[in-house]
Structure 1
Amino acid sequence: MARTAVTAPVVEMRGITVELSGVRVLDAADLTLRPGEVHALMGENGAGKSTLIGALTGTVPIQAGTVLVDGVPRPPTSVARSRAEGIATVFQESHLSPHLSVAENIMIGHEVRGRFGIRWARNRERAAAALATLGIEDVDPRAPLASLPPATKQLVAVARAIVLQPRVLVLDEPTSSLDEAEADRLLGVVRRLRGQGVAVLFVSHFLEQVLEVSDRMTVLRGGRVVAEYRTSEVDRAELISKMIGEDIDALQALHSERLEHHYAESRPVRLRAAAIGRRGSLEPTDVELSPGEVVGFAGLRGSGRTELARLMGGVERPDRGELWLDGARVQLRGPAAALRHRIAVSSEDLRREGIVAELTVRQNIVLGLQALRGWTRPLSRAEQDAVVDTYLDALHLEPADLDRPAGELSGGTQQKVMLARLLATRPHVLILDEPTRGIDIAAKLEIQRRVAMLAGEGVAVVFISSQLEEVVRLSDRIVVLKDREKIGELSNGPGVTVDTIVEMIAAELDDAD
C-alpha cells in the first residue's frame, strides 16, 4: 500500500519555465521529490512531462525558475552534474546494448578498473549486487542481454541506473511494453527502492499502476501544473478531468452510446473463422464478425488473443481450419492478400510492424493505399494530399507534423497515423491489436470514438486491449481467451463488467486446479 513520506525534500523545482523554438512548453512548473516516496507525474502527451524531466536531469535548459538539491539552489546543470547529485533516469526506450552481457550493460561508463584495465570479475560482482538489490538474483551477469525477456531487460536498465546508488530515480514509462505479470514485478522493485529511501519519480499512462504504487502525484496540462494530490485521497474522475481538460462524462457517454448501439444480429456474417488454429500458437477457434459490429478479444497476455487476430488478418497462416469472407472461402497468404480483400490489421508492435519511423507522416498514411494500388502506379502528390486531408481533421492530426519523420512523434500521434493508413484503404474488416497502449487519455478517447464511428458506418471491427475497461466500453460481443484457446463469448450489455470477464478467466483457472 502506498504511503506518504514526511521527510525533507531532496529536490525542489520552483517556477520552472522552458521555451523551445520560441514556444513556452513549461510555464512556472513546480515539483517536489522526497526520499522514500514515489511521486507520479501525470498528464497527456505534450503536457510537459518529458520537458520537466529534462530540466531535472540537465538535458533541457531552463529560462526561469530554480532547482534546489537538499535546499541549496544549483546553477544551470548538465547531465554529468545531475548524475553527480545522485539523479538517475530510466527511459521508456532503455538504450541497452543487446550484444553486450548483462554486467557490461549495467557497468558501462563506470567500470571498475585496475592497473591492467577493466577488472571484469569485480564488475560482474557489482552488477550482481545491483541485480540482488532489485530482487532478481537469478539473472546471470554474464548472460547476453539479447537472451533476456523484455521485462528483465527493463530491470537491467534499472540496475544500471541504481549501481551508483542514486538518491533520485526517474522512471519514464517503464511498463509500457510489459504484460501484467512483468509490470507487477517491476512495481515490486519500485516499492523496494522506496523502502531503501530512494525518491522515485514515476511516469506512466497506466492509471491503475500509478494509483497502486505512488504516494503523491502532480498533474501537468499544457505545460502548467494543474493539480497535486496525495494518491490515497485522489478522486479518479477529478484526476482524469484534470489531465484531459474535459469531464470524465465523455468516457461514460461513449460507453452509453455503445450500449445503445442496437446491433442487428440478423446481419450477414462478413468474416468467419471456422476452427481456425495453428499448432503451438492457437487451438481451433470459431469466430464470426458482421458489418457494424465491434467484437472484443479479451484475455491475459499469451491467452491467444493476438494469435487469433493475426490468423484472421493474414499476418500468419493457419495450419488448420478455414476463413470465409462474405460467404466465400478465402486463403490469406499474407497482409497484402488480406488488404486486397479489404481486411486491414494493426499490429500490437507498432514500431516493428506498423509505423515506418524514417518515413514522414504523409508517406506513412498513404503507404497502405499505395501498396493496394501497386508500386508501378505511384500516387500523385495531389492524390496523396486528398487522402491525407481526409484524415487530418477526422483524427486531429497536426498539419505541421505531416512532413516530419513519424518516429519523432508521440506514441498517441503514431497510433493515429497508423489508423489513418488503415482507414485510407477503406477496409470492410478492421483488426486493431492494442491501438491505445502507452498513449495518453485524450488520444485514447479519440481513437475509441473513431472505432465507434467506424462500426456505425458498417465496418466489422476486432478490438484488442489489455485494458479490459476499453473492451467492455466498445464491444458488442466479447470473445474471452485463455491459454491459447477460446473459453467463452459474451453479448455485451449493462450487466457485463470487467469483473464478469475476470471471473470467467478465474473460473477456468479454478477448474484447471
Structure 2
Amino acid sequence: MTATNAVLAAREVTKVYGGTQALKGVDFDVAAGRVTALFGENGAGKSTLMKILAGIEQPTTGHVELDGRPARLASSRDAADQGISIIHQELSLCPNLSIQDNLFLAREVRRPYGAVDRRAEREATIAVLRTLEEELDPDTPVADLRLGQQQIVEIARALLQEARVLIMDEPTSALTAPEVEVLFKVIRDLTARGVAVVYISHHLDEALEIADDVVVLRDGRLVATAKAGDVDLRWIVAQMVGRDQDALFPDREALAGDEVLALRDLVVADPANPDRLAVNGVNLTLRAGEIVGVYGLMGSGRTELLEALAGRIPPASGEIRLGGEPLSGTGIRERIERGVVLVPEDRQRDGLVQTMTVGENLSLAGLYKFVRRLFVSQERERGAVERVIADVTVKTAGAKAPIGSLSGGNQQKVVIGKALLTDPRVLLLDEPSRGVDVGAKADIFQLMAAQARRGLAVLFTTSEAEEALHIPDRLLVLARGVVVGEYRRGEINREELMSVSDGAAIGGAAR
C-alpha cells in the first residue's frame, strides 16, 4: 500500500519477538485528511504496527517515514512531539485523579514564570469535553465515571495534543450509540482539517462506516487494501479469517429442557442513581439447553439485569427462582455455589486479576471445590485448570503464563473458563464478545453453543444486532429497563430490531 499524500508510513517493517515474527515486511500508509480502517484478528499484528508508528516499539527491520522521509521515533513522547497521538484499547487513566488532571498529566499548562495555569487547563478541559458533547465537571474523579465516560476522557486527552496523525484503537468499545455518532462527527471534523486517522475496531460495520480506506492484516502480513466504498463486511471477514461471515455463528437447533431460572416482576434500581429504575418489571424464563439473548443499547438495563441475577446488586422487588426455589437474598458466592455465575462486561476491572497467572485466574471463583480439610488440593486444581484451558481453547504458553501476556480474546476465554470451572447450571454473559476480534468472537459463540448442548441454561446480553439476530434461541429486547419485545430466531430483522430497541413505545415507563 503506497500513497502519494502519506503523512506517516511503514516501509518493509518486520518485528520479531524472540522466535515469533509479529510483522513480516509490512508497507502501510496513513494519508492526510483520510480515515484508514485497519482490520485483523488478534495476533494479526495490528497493535504491533501501531506501537511502531507511535514510537512505543522499534522495528526489527524496515523503517518509519514522516512526510516521505525516514524518521526515528525513539519513544511515544518523541512521536507525540512530531504530531503522532494514540488512543489505546485499554484505558490508561489514573482513576484517583480528576478529569482535568488526567488530561494534563505530565503536560501541564504553565504560566511564563513556571507555575501551572489551572484556569487555562480548566477552560481547555471544558472546551474539549463540549466538542465531544459531554457536560462533565473537570474536577470529577475518573473513578466516579462510567466506563463510556472514561473512554471519552481518554479520547479528549488525545484531541488536546492537536496531532497530525491520530491512531484510535477500539475507541468506541464502551460508548453508547449517540456517543459514537458524536465521535464520528469529531473524526470528520479532524479529517476535514487534514488530520490523518487510523481507526481500529472489532465493530466491523462501524469501522467501515467511518473509513475512507481499508487495510487488512493477517498473520503479520498486509493481505488486502481497498477503498471503503468498494467493499462490504463479507469481503472484510473473508480477508481477515478466510471464511464467510455466516460461518461465525454456530448452526444449532434449540433443544430447550426443563425450566431452570424464572424471574417475576423483577425491579432493580440503578446503583449510580437510586431514584431511577434500571430494570422495571421484567419477566423471564430460562430452560436447560437454551440460549436466550437480551438485546439493548447502553442504558437499557441489560447489565443491571444480569448483575441482579448474579447477586452483585440487590433487586428492589420481584422474585428470582432457581429450579423452583427462591434465589433472592443470596450473595455472589452463594449463587455461584448454587450454580449461577456471571461473565462480567468489563473483563479488566471485574473479571481478571492482572497480577495473577492464567491458572490462578481460572481457578479463582471455583477454588472452594478443591479444598480438602482446609487445604487446597493443588493436583486437582491443576488438572481442572488444564482441562478448562483445552475446553475453551485459550492460546497460552501454559497455566503459569501471566494473564497480561494473552490477547484480549484469550483473556475473555479465561474469564469464561473461570465461570465454567464452577460447574454452573446457569451461565450469564454480559457482552461476551466486547473488545475481541472476529475470530475470537466465533470461538466464544461456538463455546456458548457447546455449553447449551451440555444442558446449561445460557443467558447473554449484546448491543450487536447481528449477534442478537443469529445466536439466541429466544431474544428479549430491553429498553429503559422494560422488555419491549420477545422473539424466536428468524422472527425479527435488523430494521425491526432497531425500531423496537429505541424504546419510543414505552414513553417514560422506566424513567
The TM-score, its normalising length taken from structure 1, stands at 0.90
Within 5 A, what are the aligned runs for 1:116-127? 116-127=114-125
> 2: CA distance between counterparts of 1:201 and 1:478?
35
Question: What are the Cα deviations for residues 194-233 of structure 1, in whole angstroms up to 9, with x where unaligned?
Answer: 1111001111111121011111121111111111121111
Partner of 1:114 in structure 2? 112
Question: CA contact under 8 A between 1:151 and 1:183: conserved in structure 2?
Answer: no
User: How far does residue 355 in structure 1 lie from its aligned partner after superposition?
Assistant: 1.4
Q: Is 192-201 or 311-320 further displaced after alignment? A: 311-320
Distance 2:146 2:192 in 1: 26
CA distance in structure 2 between the aligned counterparts of 1:76 and 1:146, rounded to whole angstroms: 33
Q: Which residue of 2 aligns with 1:292?
A: 289
Q: Would you say 1:263 and 2:259 are equivalent positions?
A: no
Greater Cα offset, 5-14 or 166-175? 5-14
Structure 1: how far apart are the matches of 2:243 and 2:7? 34
Of residues 496, 501, 506, the one that matches 2:492 is 496
Matched to 2:363, the amino acid is V
From 263, 286, 310, the equivalent of 2:307 is 310
C-alpha distance in structure 2 between counterparts of 1:357 and 1:377, whole Å: 26
Q: Please show how residues 227-306 of structure 1 align to structure 2 within 5 Å.
A: 227-251=224-248, 254=250, 257-258=251-252, 261-264=253-256, 267-279=257-269, 280-306=277-303
Instruction: Count matched residues.
Output: 499
Q: Measure the CA separation in 2 of the matches of 1:376 and 1:433.
A: 35
Q: Secondary structure at the match of 1:118?
A: coil
Residue 105 (structure 1) aligned to one of 96, 102, 105? 102
- Kindly state the Cα deviation for residue 149 of structure 1 after the two structures are TM-superposed: 4.7
Letter aligned with residue 499 of structure 1? E
Q: Distance in 2 between matches of 1:147 and 1:337?
A: 29
- Give, in angstroms, the shift of residue 333 of structure 1: 1.2
1:68-147 equivalent positions in 2, closer than 5 A: 68-75=65-72, 77-110=74-107, 111-128=109-126, 130-131=128-129, 134-136=131-133, 138-139=135-136, 141=138, 144-146=141-143
Instruction: Describe the shift of the 1:228–1:424 C-alpha distance in structure 2 as closer, same or farther (beyond 3 A).
Output: same
**Structure 1 residues 391, 97: closer, same or farther in 2, change over 3 A?**
closer
Q: Helix, strand or coil for the counterpart of 1:450?
A: helix
Post-superposition shift, 1:375?
8.4
With over 3 angstroms needed to count, the CA separation of the structure-2 counterparts of 1:262 and 1:104, relative to structure 1, is closer
Q: 2:190 & 2:393 partners in 1: Cα distance?
A: 40
Q: What SS is found at the alignment partner of 2:265?
A: strand
Determine if the alignment matches structure 1 residue 45 to structure 2 residue 56.
Answer: no
- Is 1:321 aligned with 2:357? no
1: CA distance, partners of 2:120 / 2:491: 60
- TM-score normalised according to structure 2 size: 0.90
Structure-1 residue corresponding to 2:274: none
CA distance in 1, matches of 2:319, 2:97: 45
Cα distance in 1 for partners of 2:313, 2:76 equals 45
Q: Deviation of residue 262 (structure 1)?
A: 4.1
Deviations along 1:272-298, one digit per CA (max 9) or x if unpaired, are 112222343322221111111111111
Deviates most, 19-28 or 148-157: 148-157
- For 1:32 and 1:129, locate their aligned partners in 2 and report how far apart those are by CA, in whole Å: 32
The AA in structure 2 aligned to 1:476 is D
Change (3 A) 1:459 1:164: closer
Helix, strand or coil: the match of 1:46?
Answer: coil
Structure 1 unaligned spans of 5+: none
Q: Which of 143, 162, 167 is equivalent to 1:165?
A: 162
Deviations 1:90-116 (A, max 9, x none): 212342334444443333333233225
Mapped to 1, the partners of 2:445 and 2:368 lie a distance apart of 27
Whole-Å separation in 1 of the counterparts to 2:396 and 2:64? 36
Q: Is the 8 A contact 1:58 1:79 kept in 2?
A: yes
CA-CA distance at 1:147 after TM superposition:
5.3
> Structure 1 residues 58, 432: CA separation in 2 closer, same or farther (over 3 Å shift)?
same
Displacement of 1:139 after TM fit? Answer: 4.8
Call closer, same or farther: CA 1:496–1:357 in 2, change over 3 Å: same
Question: What is the SS of the residue equivalent to 1:344?
Answer: strand
Quote the Cα distance in structure 2 between the aligned partners of 1:283 and 1:137. 27
Counterpart AA for 2:115: G
**Structure 1 residues 344 and 223 mapped into 2: Cα distance closer, same or farther (>3 Å)?**
same
> Where does residue 18 of structure 1 map in the other structure?
15
**Structure 2 letter corresponding to 1:31:** F
Other-structure match for 1:420 = 417
- Percent of matched pairs sharing the same residue: 34
| Equivalent of 2:504 in 503, 509, 512 | 509
Give the superposition deviation at 1:337.
Answer: 1.0
Query: Alpha-carbon deviation of 1:511?
Result: 6.2
Moved more, 467-476 or 448-457: 467-476
Stretch moving more, 23-32 or 268-277: 268-277
Relative to structure 1, the CA distance from residue 120 to residue 245 in structure 2 (aligned partners, 3 Å threshold; closer, same or farther) is same
Contact 1:339 1:372 (C-alpha < 8 Å) held by counterparts: no
SS state of the match for residue 15, structure 1? strand
Give the residue type in structure 2 aligned to 1:35: A
Deviation at 1:400, TM superposition (A): 0.7
Letter in 2 for 1:512: G
Q: 1:115-166 CA distances to partner (integer Å, 9 max, x unpaired)?
A: 252233344444455556x354855555555555544443333333233421
Is 1:214 matched with 2:206?
no
- Are 1:442 and 2:439 matched, yes or no? yes
Q: In structure 2, how many angstroms separate the alpha carbons of the residues matched to 1:320 and 1:274?
A: 9
1:191 equivalent in alignment to 2:188: yes
Superposed CA RMSD: 2.5
Cα distance change of structure 1 residues 123 and 309 upon mapping to structure 2, 3 Å threshold: closer
Q: Following TM superposition, by how much is the alpha carbon of 1:307 offset from its aligned partner in structure 2, in angstroms? A: 2.0
Any conservation in 1 of the 2:300–2:481 contact (CA below 8 Å)?
yes
Distance change (3 Å), C-alpha of 1:312 and 1:140: closer
Q: Which amino acid aligns with 2:303?
A: T
Question: In structure 1, the residue corresponding to 2:366 is in which secondary structure?
Answer: helix
Q: Distance in 1 between matches of 2:118 and 2:395?
A: 50
Residue deviations 1:35-78, cap 9 Å, x none? 11111111111111111011111111112112221111124633
The 1:245–1:379 alpha-carbon spacing in structure 2 relative to 1, beyond 3 Å, is: farther
For each residue in 1:316-371, what CA deviation from the matched residue of structure 2 results, as whole angstroms up to 9, or x when unmatched? 22232222222233335112111121112112122232112221111111222213
Q: Which one-letter code corresponds to 1:475 in the other structure?
A: P
Is contact 1:463–1:471 with CA below 8 Å preserved after alignment? no
